[in-house]
Structure 1
């Protein structure tokens, strides 16, 4: 019988992964990962890696990265520019959950509005 400790299991493919994590499409998971990456590592105005670079780093299809980028642009976090100095740039930093919870703890009357 094989040793279960040596069997690597990917979190998203594990049958024991939380349902909240497995219910998302890859582009949604990627979008959340990029939001977290922006919040932790980037400033407003900084250029993100290209779609090809990110797809190689994250081992995902460039189309998945492209869809996540476009959704983040719709949400107002990213902007695209073309040309010699073009690329994908951060135009807003996503709030972390901790910042949101601190704000709601001080302003509980807005909790219902914030949920929607």
Structure 2
């Protein structure tokens, strides 16, 4: 069971910085630029993900950074971020609830997707 959660603490610490970046961009785009929550959440995620992907590759998963891995991560999590924003737009959910929900969802989904798909350890 311990191996399942290996790197989760480091991933969470980096996720706090990622969340601050994401939330700031989301609120600027929804309030100042008046974009939809779906577009704002997706754009904010893409910027924050660029930071966290690189830092997690180096410190959490000790893996090589590659364009293919980056695109795989951004594609999967980007669809999730857009979907959460689209749901929030459709049901007129407050932006704070949108980013908080996505942040919590992406913490767990992003960790397990990164650990077992994007940065999986190769058998020797």
Please identify which structure carries the higher helix content: 2
Tell me if TM exceeds 0.5.
Answer: no
Please identify which structure carries the higher strand content: 1
Q: TM-score, normalised by structure 2?
A: 0.29
Of structures 1 and 2, the larger Rg is shown by 1
**Higher RCO, 1 or 2 (CA under 8 Å, sep at least 6)?**
2
Q: TM-score, normalised by structure 1?
A: 0.31
